[in-house]
Amino acid sequence: MAQIGIYEKALPKGITWQERFALAKELGFDFIEMSIDETDERLARLDWSDEQLAQLREDMFQSGVRINSICLSGHRRFPFGSLDLEKQQKAKEIMDKAVRFAHKLSIKVIQVAGYDVYYEEKSVTSREAFIEGMKESVKQAANYGVILSIEIMDDPFMNSIGKFLEIKRQIRSPYLQVYPDLGNLSAWPENNPAVELEEGIDCITSIHLKDTYPVTENSSGQFRDVPFGEGCVDFLGLLKNLKRLDYDGTFLIEMWSEKSSNFKEEIEAAKNYLYPKLREAGYDVA
């Protein structure tokens, strides 16, 4: 049976984790991907007390819905590649806390945003600083058996699996892997998404399912909030490709409906689009 999860930001923001787990179960999902983004509110999760973490574990185990992964996008604000040494140090602190946080909650995968820098100018120096920061982070993750999985992004620095493999050759560890986003892979015109998946299959931990509008000469594309089926992703073809490659990892539906009053309808519409394609590709979906 394929394991399918939902992104935390698809569910209402102002609810408890107990309510969030119950909603995910009601909607038929196996797991939630937690967000630790660049906001102070979500970064503060990394400083939760042991009592708070124990309560979260209890709520998770009672619900039967797990937190399978963390989307750690806080490094957009505090990137490893920053010229600001204080931000570099903060990036390392965030990763150190995230690894320990994941370990305490038995979370297996931390999805790392594939940005050297986001709000600063890119350079060879920013790339080198990113690699050095990730080398240290992978060593820390290995100590706890946590996998760091770099997401293929909406940014030229890491917009293909090929570019991840260039980094992988610099950091040879089973604790550094890749988290492809089918939308992001498909949006960049230089990519052949099927070939990308074939080249990276040995390193893939999870797959993000979302649609995108493509990058063109006249458009920077759109990487969020594109209704499924209206963008450029050939979901059936890529899912068949993954099935042929014997990919049996998790799938995560990535949506940002946390402020929508119709979030349930939007999520069900996504499932009604994606699940038939998963079944046609050969995946067993409830």
pTM: 0.96
Sequence-distant (6+) residues with CB within 8 A of 211 are 183, 226, 227, 228, 229, 230, 231, 232, 233, 235
pLDDT tens for 44-69 read 999 999 999 999 999 999 999 999 99
**Band of pLDDT at residue 286, cut at 50, 70 and 90:** confident
Integer-rounded Cα radius of gyration of the chain: 18
pLDDT tens for 185-231 read 999 999 999 999 999 999 999 999 999 999 999 999 999 999 999 99
d(CA 167, CA 150): 10
- Please, what is the average pLDDT of the chain? 97
d(CA 151, CA 254): 13
pLDDT tens for 119-141 read 999 999 999 999 999 999 999 99
What pLDDT is recorded for position 70?
98
Full DSSP string of 78-117: S-TT-S-HHHHHHHHHHHHHHHHHHHHTT--EEEEE--S-
pLDDT tens for 164-188 read 999 999 999 999 999 999 999 999 9
